[in-house]
Structure 1
C-alpha cells in the first residue's frame, strides 16, 4: 500500500510503498476513505517531545470501509463504513466500560490514516449512519475533542464564551458553545484567516488585535468571559486568559504546549479562577459528535477547506506549518 511516512524531525514526509496490514484475531483492516490533517500532526513532525520515530505513519482523524476482520471480530464485516476512534484501549476494564478509554491501562494513540489501509481494533470502530459521509466520519474526532472541552468547562446556557485560537478545535468549540446556548461567543486569533468560517460556525464576533488582546476581547464580549477556552498551546496565553475571564470564571485548557510556561498565580488567586484541563474525549462524546452530523448539522462541515490525494501530502503538510487560509485539509487516499 502507499503511505505518507515520517522520516525525521523537521524533514518532509515521504511517500512509500508499505506492506498491506493483516488483521490479528481481534483486529479490523480499514480502507481509508478520508483522513484529516490535524495540527497535532504538524507539532509531532517538529517537536521531539512527542517521541515520533522514523517510519511512523500519522493520521488519527480517519474513517473508511472495513475490508478485512480477524476471526474474533463479530460486530463488523467487510463493507461496513466506520469512523475510527484513535484511542487504543482494552475494551473491557472499568474505564472502557464507562467510555473513558483515555484512562485505560492499555491506552495508546492510533495513527495510520495517512495511508491506503490502516489496522485498528473492533472496539475502536463506530459504524456510520446512512446520512454520514466518510468526510463526516473524519470530522468526528476534532468535534469530540471540542465537545469534551465544553463538558469539562461546565458551560451553561447564557454564558459568555471566549475562544483563543481559530483552528479546527477552536471553531468546533464555537459551534458547540452556540448549540449549547451561550449568550455570546467570541473567537480571538492573531490573523483574520478564519474570520468568515468562525462566524458561520457560531461566533458572534471575531477579534484580531495584537496591541490590546484583552481590551479587544472585553469590548467584543461586552464584559469579561465566563469561560475562556485556550486552544493554542502557546506560553503566555494562560496569563492572558486570566485577564480576560471574570472573577470566579473558568479557563479551559485544550491547547497542547510542550514548552515551560509561567503562571501569575497571584492574579489567578485574586480572581478565584478555575483552571481546568481537557484531554482527548470519552466514547459518549464521540458518539454525540457523530450524532450531530447524522442529524444534519451543516456547520462542522464548513471546516473542510480542501481535499488532497496521498501524493500531495508531503508538500501540503509542509505548507500547513505556516499560517494559511486552510482549516481542515482532508486526505482521500
Structure 2
C-alpha cells in the first residue's frame, strides 16, 4: 500500500510499504480522509518526529471505514465509519512519531476498544467533515480550559480552523456572545456564517474600542484606562500582538486561554496586569475531548463543513502538502481517498 512519510528535512515521499493486517484483537481501517495539520509542516521542516528515527509516517487527523475485525474484538462491524483517537494507539501516536500514519491506504488499530481508539459515526456525513474531529477536539479542549459560563462574553483571536472550532464549541456551551478577531476578511465572513455574534478586523479597527462597544466597559475598582467587560479570551492566532491586545483590553477577573503555538517568546507586562487579576491558562491536545466533540459534528456537520477550504485526492497528496504549507493559500486542506 501507499503511505506518506517525512524522508528528510523539508521532504516528504509517497512510499510503498507492506499493508497491515488485523490480528484477533485488532481492527483494520481503510482510510477515507485525513486533514493536514500545521504540525505536519513542522515535522516535515525538521525532517522527522522524535523519538522515531529515519522515515516517519504522517497524518493524525484521520477517518475511515472498518474492513476487518479481529475475532476477539467487540463493538465494531465491517462497514462501520469511525473516527480515531490518535493519541491512544498502542503502537505509538498515529502520525506523530508512532509506527503508522493516517496518510496511508490502511491503518491497523491494535487492541481496539470502543470509546478508546475508535468511535462509530453515522454513514451520511461526508468523510472530509468527519476528519475534522481531531482538530475540533483541540479547539474543544481550549474552550473547556477557559470554562465559560452561558452568560459570558468571549473574544476569539484567529479565525483559522482552531479558532472557528472554538467558536462552535463556545456556541455549543450556550455562551451568550462570541466575537472573532482576525485580519483576513474572508475568514471573518466565514466566522459570521458559522455563528459568530460579531467580528473585528484588527488590521482596520481598534480591537479594545470595538470590544468595549460590543461587550461594555469594565469599571471594576482599581482597573485603570479603557478596559472591556469581555469575560474570556482565546488565543488561536499565535501572534505576539494578541498578548499585547489582551493586556490592553482585559478587565478585572477576565480569563485567557492560549491554544496557539507561539514560535517566539512573548513579552508580558505583569505589572500592567496585576490589578486585572487576569487568569492565564494553556491548552494542549485533548485529554477527554476527542469523542465529546463528535456529537456536535454529527448534529451540525454543515457548519463544520464551512471550515474546509480544499479537498484534494490522495493521488495529489504532495500538492496538498505544498498548498497547506503556503502562507495564505489555504485555510484547511483535507486529503480524500477513493
Check whether TM > 0.5: yes
Pairwise CA distance, 1:53 = 4.9
Pairwise CA distance, 1:278 = 1.9
Question: Residue 168 of structure 2 aligns with which residue?
Answer: 175
Tell whether the 8 Å contact from 2:8 to 2:48 is kept in structure 1 after alignment. Answer: no
Pairwise CA distance, 1:311 = 2.5
| Residue among 180, 192, 214 paired with 1:199 | 192
Question: Residue 246 of structure 2 aligns with which residue?
Answer: 241
1:317 is paired with a residue whose SS is helix
Distance 1:29 1:148 in 2: 29
Question: Residue 116 of structure 1 aligns with which residue?
Answer: 105
Tell whether the 8 Å contact from 2:178 to 2:197 is kept in structure 1 after alignment. Answer: yes
Pairwise CA distance, 1:316 = 2.4
The one-character-per-residue Cα deviations of 1:176-198 (angstroms, maximum 9, x if unpaired) are 22333333222112322412211
| Residue among 190, 205, 223 paired with 2:183 | 190
1:323 is paired with a residue whose SS is coil
Question: Residue 62 of structure 1 aligns with which residue?
Answer: 62
Tell whether the 8 Å contact from 1:185 to 1:221 is kept in structure 2 after alignment. Answer: no
Tell whether the 8 Å contact from 2:36 to 2:324 is kept in structure 1 after alignment. Answer: no
Tell whether the 8 Å contact from 2:200 to 2:207 is kept in structure 1 after alignment. Answer: no
Distance 1:216 1:323 in 2: 29
Which stretch shifts more, 16-25 or 248-257? Answer: 16-25
Tell whether the 8 Å contact from 1:190 to 1:210 is kept in structure 2 after alignment. Answer: yes
Distance 1:194 1:47 in 2: 29
Is 1:308 paired with 2:312? yes
The aligned runs of 1:2-151 (5 Å cut-off) are 2-11=2-11, 13-47=12-46, 51=50, 53-88=53-88, 109-111=93-95, 112-121=101-110, 122=112, 123-151=116-144
Tell whether the 8 Å contact from 2:9 to 2:48 is kept in structure 1 after alignment. Answer: no
Distance 1:75 1:271 in 2: 51
CA RMSD, aligned part only? 2.6
Pairwise CA distance, 1:254 = 0.6
C-alpha distance 73-213 of structure 1, shift in aligned 2 (>3 A): farther
Pairwise CA distance, 1:297 = 4.5
Distance 1:49 1:263 in 2: 32
- Give the length in aligned residue pairs: 315
Is 1:162 paired with 2:167? no
Question: Residue 99 of structure 1 aligns with which residue?
Answer: none
Pairwise CA distance, 1:147 = 1.8
| Residue among 269, 286, 310 paired with 2:290 | 286
Pairwise CA distance, 1:15 = 1.9
The one-character-per-residue Cα deviations of 1:225-279 (angstroms, maximum 9, x if unpaired) are 2111011234453343232332210001111234333322222323100011222
State which structure, 1 or 2, has the greater radius of gyration over its C-alpha atoms: 2
C-alpha distance 182-27 of structure 1, shift in aligned 2 (>3 A): same
2:264 is paired with a residue whose SS is coil
| Residue among 301, 322, 327 paired with 2:326 | 322
Tell whether the 8 Å contact from 2:48 to 2:54 is kept in structure 1 after alignment. Answer: no
> Of the two structures, which has the highest relative contact order with CA contacts closer than 8 Å and spacing of 6 or more?
1
Tell whether the 8 Å contact from 2:258 to 2:281 is kept in structure 1 after alignment. Answer: yes
C-alpha distance 157-261 of structure 1, shift in aligned 2 (>3 A): same
